[in-house]
């Protein structure tokens, strides 16, 4: 009998460990700039810390994916959480002693970003090892709730605690990582299935260089879903930055802007919670992905003419609600279509595409803002990007016929 997810010990540990990791990341993302500003740091210093955090994570995406396929994934997760715990503890101690220079913050930002980037592919690739194929979509849907929950809790908690004392957010960050470290140390990952010799030799021959990403990129389902992921993330980050820009230009109060981002996080959390129900309704994966993209594009178009402030935030939340439904479908189909020995590299490839899109989105938002002073036209520009993605998805035979398991169905781990 299949064990339900709430009673699946290893899934609970994996989910909790990653949630604490994401919560720590959200806290650090706010606490570092606050610390720099509190000690007279410039806007350039704040931007530098944020860029280092994101850049380190982006740079390790592909190597981290290959690493997750070559070594024990549990050891990777435990080791990276241990490194992050020590690094953040050093900041907490330095702040408590009253001497935390910028070079120390930048160094820890590099370690934090890189270690978090190495952790994610190992965690993503380990999911099918602890969850049976029949429950993978449900597990992915529940996982999709984690970042939105962390987004709702982390920044607000970091700001509140920093107001009480500078050391408190770093203490909480360190504690969350330490608990994640201990929990993951108790994780039992089933043995991974051995790759048949003939398959291993064929893969080696097909791979043009170290890293083994060639086989992935030759799979139509991976190429199509990667194009969708990059396109949607590019449009989404463009839209979010434009919403913040036009809200600032229209003198929306800071409290309302904060509430807008709360709506964004809440919408994503609700979308993650209903994603599993939609999958259970036996809707076609292609319908879920393509339909969600069109819904997102339509809502973005409406946002161009919505009142600034909370009404715009509510629409942003509705847009965010559509994305976990599509993301859950895409990730489930990717994991089911890729053999276990390539799942880490798959996660690294997806992570790289997402990070590059997240970097390019604000640039496009800046270009649109320079090109026109009409805020409606700017947001319509982001909506147009989504229409392009939706049209491409609709015309793609691979996405229209998207299924949870492709021709190269994953070899399942050996459970013990």
Q: What structural domains does the chain harbor? A: 1-192 (1.20.1250.20), 193-409 (1.20.1250.20)
Which residues of the chain are modeled with pLDDT < 70?
1, 43, 47, 191-211, 254-255, 258, 279-282, 404-416
Q: Is 189 left (phi over 0), alpha (psi -120 to 50) or beta?
A: beta
Instruction: Give the pLDDT score at 416.
Output: 31
Helix (H, G, I), strand (E, B) or coil at 191: strand
Instruction: Give the pLDDT score at 372.
Output: 84
pLDDT digits (tens, 9 = 90+) for 259-301: 777 788 888 888 888 877 776 666 788 888 999 899 999 999 9
Instruction: Give the pLDDT score at 155.
Output: 79
Instruction: Give the pLDDT score at 207.
Output: 37
pTM greater than 0.85 (yes/no): no
Contact by Cβ (8 Å): 292, 326: yes
Instruction: Give the pLDDT score at 343.
Output: 87
Instruction: Give the pLDDT score at 407.
Output: 37
Q: What is the DSSP string of 381-395?
A: HHHHHHHHHHHHHHH
Backbone angles phi, psi at 309, to 5 degrees: 95, -140
Instruction: Give the pLDDT score at 279.
Output: 65
Instruction: Give the pLDDT score at 145.
Output: 82
Instruction: Give the pLDDT score at 200.
Output: 44
Backbone angles phi, psi at 350, to 5 degrees: -65, -40
Burial of 370 (0-12, 13-18, 19+ CB in 10 A): exposed
């Amino acid at each position: 009998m299949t064990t339900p997810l709430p009673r699946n010990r290893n899934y609970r540990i994996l989910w909790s460990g990653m949630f604490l990791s994401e919560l720590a990341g959200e806290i650090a993302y706010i606490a570092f700039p606050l610390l720099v500003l509190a000690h007279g740091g410039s806007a350039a210093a704040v931007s530098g810390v944020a860029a280092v955090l994101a850049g380190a994570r982006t740079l390790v995406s592909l190597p981290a994916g290959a690493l997750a396929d070559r070594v024990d994934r549990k050891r990777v997760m435990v080791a990276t959480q241990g490194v992050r715990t020590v690094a953040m503890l050093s900041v907490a101690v330095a702040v408590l002693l009253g001497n935390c220079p910028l070079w120390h913050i930048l160094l820890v930002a590099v370690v934090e970003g890189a270690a978090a980037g190495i952790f994610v592919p190992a965690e993503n690739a380990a999911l099918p090892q602890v969850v049976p194929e029949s429950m993978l979509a449900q597990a992915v849907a529940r996982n999709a709730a984690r970042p939105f929950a962390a987004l709702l809790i982390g920044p607000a908690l970091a700001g509140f605690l920093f107001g009480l004392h500078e050391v408190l957010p770093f203490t909480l960050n360190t504690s969350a990582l330490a608990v994640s470290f201990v929990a993951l140390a108790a994780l039992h990952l089933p043995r991974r299935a051995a790759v048949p010799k003939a398959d291993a030799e064929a893969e080696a021959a097909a791979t043009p260089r170290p890293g083994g990403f060639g086989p992935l990129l030759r799979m139509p389902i991976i190429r199509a879903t990667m194009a969708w992921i990059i396109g949607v993330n590019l449009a989404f980050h463009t839209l979010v930055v434009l919403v913040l820009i036009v809200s600032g230009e229209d003198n929306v109060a800071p409290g309302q802007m904060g509430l807008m981002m709360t709506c964004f996080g809440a919408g994503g959390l609700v979308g993650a919670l209903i994603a599993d129900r939609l999958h259970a309704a036996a809707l076609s994966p292609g319908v879920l992905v393509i339909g969600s993209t069109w819904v997102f594009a339509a809502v973005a178009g409406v946002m161009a003419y919505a009142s600034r402030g909370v009404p715009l935030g509510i629409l942003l939340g509705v847009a965010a609600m559509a994305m976990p439904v599509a993301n859950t479908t895409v990730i489930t189909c990717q994991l089911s279509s890729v053999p276990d020995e390539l799942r880490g590299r798959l996660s690294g490839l997806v992570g790289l595409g997402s990070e590059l899109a997240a970097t390019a989105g604000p640039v496009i938002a800046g270009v649109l803002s320079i090109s026109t002073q009409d805020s409606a036209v700017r947001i319509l520009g982001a909506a147009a990007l989504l229409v392009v993605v939706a049209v491409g998805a609709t015309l793609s035979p691979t996405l229209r016929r998207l299924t949870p398991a492709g021709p190269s169905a994953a070899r399942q781990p050996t459970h013990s």
